[in-house]
Homo-oligomer: A and B are copies of this chain.
Amino acid sequence: MQLLKDKINKEGVVKKGNVLKVDSFLNHQMDIAFLEEIGKEFKRRFADETITKILTIEASGIGIACITARYFQVPVLFAKKTQTKNIAGEVYTSKVESFTHNKVYDVIVSKQFLTADDRILIIDDFLANGKALIGLSDIVKQAGASLVGAGIVIEKGFQEGGRIIRNMGIRLESLAIVDAMDEKNGCTFRQ
C-alpha cells in the first residue's frame, strides 16, 4: 500500500534494536482519516470473504480494528492481556511470549463472544515474531471458529513471524513489509 509506505517514510523513525516508531499516526497518536484508508484497503483485500467478526489484541490493535470494522459492518472483539494466574472456565486462553517486555502473558477472550459459527479476521498493527498472532489463531481454533485470515499494517519481513504464519496456511495480508531498516537510511520495503 503506497500511501502507507509514504507515511512510514515521512513520519516513521528507526531506532536501535530494530524498533520502528510510528507513534505519530498508528499506535500512540492515531490519524483517523489515515486509518480509514487502512480499513478500506483491508476490505478491498478480503472483499471475497465472508467475515462475521474482527479479532484484535489490546492495546494498539483496537483503534485500527474498530475503524476497519466499519467497512465490514461487523463487531470487534479484543483479546485482553493478563498475568492473572487463575483463569476461570468462561474464557479461551493462550500463552504469548513478549520479547519486547521479556515476559509471558495470557491472552484471553470470553467464550460467549466467539463461537463455531464465526468467521474471523484478525487485525493488528505489527507482525514481528508472530507470537501474538499465533496466540490469537490458537484462540480461534479453540472456539471451533474459522480463521479467514490476518490483516497486518506493518510486517517486519526480516523477522520470522510472516514466514511462520504463511507456513501455517493462514492467509496473511500485510499492507507494508519492511525487509530491512537502519537509523540512517530508514526502511526498505518488499516489492
Contacts from A to B (Cβ < 8 Å): 23-25, 28-33, 35-36, 58-59, 62-63, 65-67, 69-70, 73-78, 80, 109-110, 112-113
Contact = CB atoms under 8 A, between A and B. Distances in A.
> Assembly of this chain: how many copies?
2
Contacts of A112: 24
Given A28-B110, A69-B32, A80 B63 contact: no
Nearest to A34: B75
A30 B66 CA distance: 8
Contacts of A24: 112-113
B32 A70 contact: yes
A75 B28 contact: no
A133 B24 CA distance: 23
